Amino acid sequence: MKNNQTRFAILVSGRGSNMSRLIDVSKQDSDSHGSIQCVISDNKKAPALKTARDKGIKSKYISPGKKYRTRLTDKAQAKYIKYLKKNKVDYILLAGFMRMLKPGLIDSFPNRIINIHPSLLPAYSGLDTHSRVIDAGEKTTGCSVHFVDSGMDTGKLIAQSIVEVSNDDTPASLGKKVLEKEHKIYPYIMKLLADNKIEYENWKMIVV
Ligand code: GAR
């Protein structure tokens, strides 16, 4: 497969700064990074939806259904799958998508759904990572890119970036430092995916 034929979708729930970076690098160099076919959000008000549209990427709100706060209903998930298949997506990149996926979606794209999380997994999965890291007196933290399974931030690790925690860091300052690393590591991993360099079975986590 030629690099520029790799088709990505991005799932977002909020601000979309990682999404923005991924769109920018793929637009600058689709030969290396593949192309982003669509952005989907479970949040009608996500600023990311407008950002994507302004950057010329098709963006769509698909309701998560009313039953859960942290998952999609089966009916909603079927709509996500249908739309992703319609767009002939090779990889799905979660970029601040704050719901866990269920087997139906995961099995439709086996080892082809990737997430970024702002901690050195398996430590500090879930929410409020930066305050928990500071409260625990950690000296280092970072971000992780990993394959998605049906657990919370539990899939096989692809790459991590390390950030030092200073004595005077607040959750906001630490979040900013980690986000800078996220904005570098995610486009890098996107490039490796577009290049077919990351194979689930043989992959050993890298630190970048
Ligand atoms: C990022 O820090 C991302 O790692 C995190 O949400 C933020 C989204 O920011 N994701 C998770 O916590 C997933 N468990 P963004 O919308 O500006 O990219």
CA of 182 to the centre of ligand 1 (A): 9
- Give the residue numbers annotated as catalytic, written as ranges: 117
Q: What is the pLDDT of residue 1?
A: 45
Ligand 1: which of 13, 17, 24 to mutate, most ligand atoms within 8 Å of CB? 17
d(CA 48, CA 20): 8
The number of residues in the chain equals 208
Q: Is the CB of 95 under 6 A from ligand 1?
A: yes
CA dihedral over 51, 142, 180, 29, signed as positive or negative = negative
Mutate-to-test residue for ligand 1 from 149, 179, 184, 185, highest number of ligand atoms within 8 A of CB: 179
Ligand 1 atom at minimal distance to the Cα of residue 19 = 18
165 — phi, psi (to 5°)? -100, 120
Residues 6+ apart with CB under 8 A from 140: 120, 162, 163, 164, 165
pLDDT (0 to 100) of residue 128? 97
| 0.95 exceeded by pTM | yes
Residue 15 CA: nearest ligand 1 atom is 16
Residue ranges covered by each domain of the chain: 3-207
Instruction: Kindly provide the b/e burial profile for residues 155-180, where b requires at least 16 CB atoms within 10 angstroms of the residue's own CB.
Output: bebbbbbebebeeebeeeebbebbbe
Along the chain (208 residues), what's the average pLDDT of each consecutive run of 10 residues?
Answer: 78 98 93 92 98 98 92 96 98 97 96 98 97 98 97 95 98 98 98 95 96
Give residue 161's Cα distance to chain centre: 15
* CA pair distance 9, 170, nearest whole angstrom: 33
Q: Which atom of ligand 1 is nearest to the CA of 179?
A: 2
E-strand spans in the chain?
7-12, 35-41, 59-61, 91-94, 113-117, 140-147, 157-164, 206-207
Q: What is the CATH number of domain 3-207?
A: 3.40.50.170
Structure tokens at 160: 């991590």
Residue 4 confidence (pLDDT): 63
